[in-house]
Amino acid sequence: MSTYLVFGATGNVGRRVAERLAWSGAAVRAMSRNPEAAKLPQGVEVITPDLDAPGALDDVDAAFLMWPFHSAEPARPIVGALKRRVRRVVFMTGGGALPGVAPEEQPNPVARWHATVERLIEQSGMEWTVLSPSTFMANTLWWSAQIRAGDYVRGAFGSLATTPIHEDDIAAVAVHALTEPGHEGHRYTLTGPEVLTQAEQVRLIGEAVGRPLHWQELTLEQERARLLADPDFPGDFVDELLDGYTKMAAAPRPEVTSTVPDITGAPATTLSAWAAEHADDFSGGRR
């Protein structure tokens, strides 16, 4: 039986990919730096992320790859190891990497790393599919401490519109691309079902947790100071994040794509449904 290899298998998307494959009865080899703590379904083989380890790529037919690294340095060894043994790769890109634009011309370092991986995969001879998702609904968990503490989410760019996507919808598309023919050579732009401003997202989370929640707009400087005081946001990431938001706010309003329903046959999940699933994360279990 062919085996599916899943990178980042404890992450937002990789976990869902590993679970969906395992629940379908497929053989899954998942990677985590801490296999004992991975908490993946029974039957999933969990290994450390070392493709040169004996047996790591045995029987692997297709791999789900995402990029957890803060450079493109591991791209050549990883793609090189995969292309020697694996027929198909599904890569989740990120950083707003622009399609058809050379890595060196991408708008930011994160996009450059992802575009480098995309290019290596496209030139590898493997069957490839690239998934380019919009912002994850899970990003709203960044607001969870503020929501647990009160009724306001403070931040800049409340009117910034995005098309947030449920991580499980990305995983569902990934599993189709890993297991079925017909997705080779495609770069899919994946979005959620709605265009929502950040302030609207906060209101919808409020409905899910059962109390009105509001956005409170901060100036860019106030937001920068707030993020720098938060240990979850390293200093260099704060500027990158705010720069990314500034560019997104200046860009045309994003559009919803039909790729998730077209491929999965089911409508993309709404933020309301995602928030209902995660209501305890915002209420600390006190509702």
Ligand X SMILES: NC(=O)c1ccc[n+]([C@@H]2O[C@H](COP(=O)([O-])OP(=O)(O)OC[C@H]3O[C@@H](n4cnc5c(N)ncnc54)[C@H](OP(=O)(O)O)[C@@H]3O)[C@@H](O)[C@H]2O)c1
As a whole number of angstroms, the distance between CA 30 and CA 43 comes to 11
- Spatial neighbors of 1 by CB under 8 A, at least 6 apart, are 26, 27, 59
Q: Which stretch binds ligand X (CB under 6 A): 4-12, 148-156, 230-238, 275-283?
A: 4-12
Give yes or no for residue 32 binding ligand X (CB under 6 A).
Answer: yes
Structure tokens, 185: 């050579």
Token pair, residue 272, equals: 């309301």
Distance CA 184, CA 1 (A): 21
Q: Is residue 77 near ligand X by the rule CB under 6 A?
A: no
Give the end-to-end CA distance of the chain in Å, rounded to a whole number. 46
255 three-class SS: coil
Residue 89 interacts with ligand X (CB under 6 A): yes or no:
no
Would you tell me the crossing angle of helices 167-179 and 14-23 to the nearest 10 degrees? 50
Binding mask 166-205 for ligand X (x = CB under 6 A): ----------------------------------------
Part in contact with ligand X (CB under 6 A); list of ranges 55-63, 67-75, 242-250, 274-282: 67-75
Stretch that binds ligand X, among 2-10, 229-237, 245-253, 257-265 (CB under 6 A): 2-10
Select from 3, 5, 9, 75 the one that contacts ligand X (CB under 6 A): 9
Q: Which of 4, 5, 12, 72 binds ligand X (CB under 6 A)?
A: 12
* Backbone angles phi and psi of 199, in degrees to 5: -65, -40
Instruction: Report the residue number, 10 or 179, with the smaller CB distance to ligand X.
Output: 10
Q: Does 245 interact with ligand X (rule: CB under 6 A)?
A: no
Bridge-partner residues for 91, per DSSP? 65, 130
Among 12, 284, 271, 241, smallest CA distance to 145 is for 284
33 near ligand X, judged by CB under 6 A: yes
Task: Give the residues lining the site for ligand X (CB under 6 A).
Answer: 8-14, 32-34, 49, 66-69, 92, 94-95, 110, 133, 135-136, 139
